[in-house]
Amino acid sequence: MRGDGVKAEVGEAIEELKRAFPGSELTVSEDGQGGAHVMVESVVIGTRYEPERSWLGGHITAQYPYADIYPVFMDAAVRRRDGKAFEAPITAGHNFCGRPAIQISRRNNRMQNSGQTAVAKFLKILDFLEKVQ
């Protein structure tokens, strides 16, 4: 996917996400500045959560790949199976692209030293969700 207003690097990141999540649909909306808001639909987030699938979304800015995709969001309907509330860096009460959302704040503080692909960021979030206490 590459619309007229999306930078080539952003379009490439979107295509990489499609390849990395072949069983998921991508919802993409251009931001009007060369970037895009992206949602990967129906991603397995793990058995620790109900439901076990959610969408994950983030803003790939025109500065990609030199700017972090931060924060990442998931569906506000997701709950922990153990009944515990989410705690920072996972916070409820947000909105992403018109959808109620949970924000997952996992900033890559080393972006200036080494770029991180959109796929790597989404996989990092999934790994974090699997391990978070």
Domain assignment present for 99: yes
Domain assignment present for 75: yes
Domain assignment present for 1: no
Domain assignment present for 3: no
Residue 82 pLDDT greater than 50, yes or no: yes
Which CATH number is 98's domain given? 3.10.110
pLDDT of residue 116: 84
pLDDT of residue 23: 92
Domain assignment present for 43: yes
Q: Domain residues for 65?
A: 8-131
Q: Kindly state the percentage of the chain with pLDDT values over 70.
A: 89
pLDDT of residue 67: 87
Domain assignment present for 31: yes
Residue entry with tokens 């620790």: 48
- pLDDT, tens digit (0-9, with 9 covering 90-100), for 5-55: 899 999 999 999 999 999 999 999 999 999 999 999 999 999 999 999 999
Residue 122 pLDDT greater than 50, yes or no: yes
Query: Which residues are within 8 A (CB) of 106 and not within 5 positions of it... i.e. 6 or more apart?
Result: 70, 71, 72, 89, 124, 125, 128
Q: Is 129:45 a contact under the CB 8 Å cutoff?
A: yes
Residue entry with tokens 């990442």: 72
Rounded average pLDDT over 67-80: 94
Domain assignment present for 116: yes
Global pTM value? 0.89
Residue entry with tokens 């972090």: 68
Query: Which residues are within 8 A (CB) of 37 and not within 5 positions of it... i.e. 6 or more apart?
Result: 28, 29, 31, 57, 58, 59, 60, 96, 97
Residue 98 pLDDT greater than 60, yes or no: yes
Higher pLDDT, 67 or 99: 99
Q: Name residue 101's beta-bridge partners.
A: 75, 94
Count of the separate structural domains present in the chain: 1
Collapsing DSSP to helix, strand or coil, 61 comes out as coil
Residue 111 pLDDT greater than 70, yes or no: no
Q: Is 92:109 a contact under the CB 8 Å cutoff?
A: no
Domain assignment present for 2: no
